[in-house]
Amino acid sequence: MAKWMEQLGPESDIIISSRIRLARNIEEFPFPVALTKNKSKELIKKVRNAILEGNTTLKNDFEGFELEELPQLEKQALVEKYLISAALVDQAEKSAVLLNKDESVSIMINEEDHIRIQCLLPGFQLNEAWNTADKIDDVLEGNIKYAFDEELGYLTSCPTNVGTGIRASVMVHLPALTMTGYINRILQAASQIGLAVRGIHGEGTEFTGNIFQISNQLTLGRNEGEIIANLKDVTLQIIQKERDARNTLLSSNRIQLEDRMYRSYGILVNARILSSQEFMKLLSDLRLAVDMKIIEGISLNVINQMMVMAQPAYLQKSAGKPLSVNERDIRRAMIVREKLTSMK
């Protein structure tokens, strides 16, 4: 289990995780889209050596994997745990990843950029994630010459990442704002002030389980501290609005709210077939019930774990064989049922 799945952080009733990602490129290599396979291998070795064989405190904490050597299910499981991107998997023959022991840090090599340093922590810990990512960035920059322009900053494959190269994001659970109909207003306001709102697995993915990823859109013209501070300020406002909406629901529709939560819990502990979409909807209700102390005895980190345990690759890995969609739905229901009943 990755650190964000096993532990809870500040504001964990609403903020599932915080992430900092830094995009960097190496001066003497073309961008990944133009890399030959031989050049990509050379670049992978250069980055691996900077971390794994350099005289750094990081070398004993990281392990490297070339994606073309990993089974498909292993690669997909890393995507499901938010440790790598689907884009990295798409070009597995030229890419690699370095992971630290608690899986709070991943360094993707040859995704859209040569290097993507990611720090993922539980709860609302943007500053802590930034501090970790910044230290790793310093280690790499001490061994590798980055593509950098004095006026523009760090040069990246996509123009929207030029400058600091930073993407700060939070994964938030906003069921009450959705139930009360205010979520669209919140999302529109976030977009108007330069923030991107995406689905659970990032760009191009749908909103499911009332979970949203909110991040900065531009990296040029502001320093890292300003970008993080802006996202923190907006997130704190969203947290307060979600809590206000929860209190409104509780005071005006308590019986209806409790009925919905207990029905969802009842399905989760008794169902024999659960589709991915139905599971995420029911899990959202259960998470809200746990947050509001309507249902007790279930911890949020277990709910975080189930989010990943119920994903297609994990289900097939745990079964030890490929599964059809129907077989996955049956196994998903079994795993969720066993996980929840074991806590009572």
Whether 328 has a binding-site annotation, put simply, is no
Whether 170 has a binding-site annotation, put simply, is yes
Whether 198 has a binding-site annotation, put simply, is yes
Give burial (CB, 10 Å; 0-12/13-18/19+) of 299.
Answer: exposed
Whether 53 has a binding-site annotation, put simply, is no
Whether 331 has a binding-site annotation, put simply, is no
Give phi and psi for 155, each to the nearest 5: -90, 130
Whether 167 has a binding-site annotation, put simply, is yes
Whether 168 has a binding-site annotation, put simply, is yes
Whether 337 has a binding-site annotation, put simply, is no
Whether 114 has a binding-site annotation, put simply, is no
Answer whether 104's CB lies under 8 Å from 3's CB. Answer: yes
Answer whether 187's CB lies under 8 Å from 197's CB. Answer: yes
Residue 36 vs residues 26, 28, 39, 40, 90: alpha-carbon distances, Å: 15, 14, 5, 6, 15
Whether 199 has a binding-site annotation, put simply, is yes
Whether 309 has a binding-site annotation, put simply, is no
Q: Is the dihedral of CA 220, 226, 229, 235 positive or negative?
A: negative
Answer whether 175's CB lies under 8 Å from 283's CB. Answer: no
Whether 202 has a binding-site annotation, put simply, is yes
Give me the helices (H) in 91-212, please: 126-143, 175-179, 183-192
Whether 171 has a binding-site annotation, put simply, is yes
Whether 69 has a binding-site annotation, put simply, is no
- 3-class state of residue 244 by DSSP: helix
Q: Annotated binding residues, as ranges? A: 17-21, 116, 167-171, 198-203
- Binding-site residues for ATP sit at 17-21, 116, 167-171, 198-203
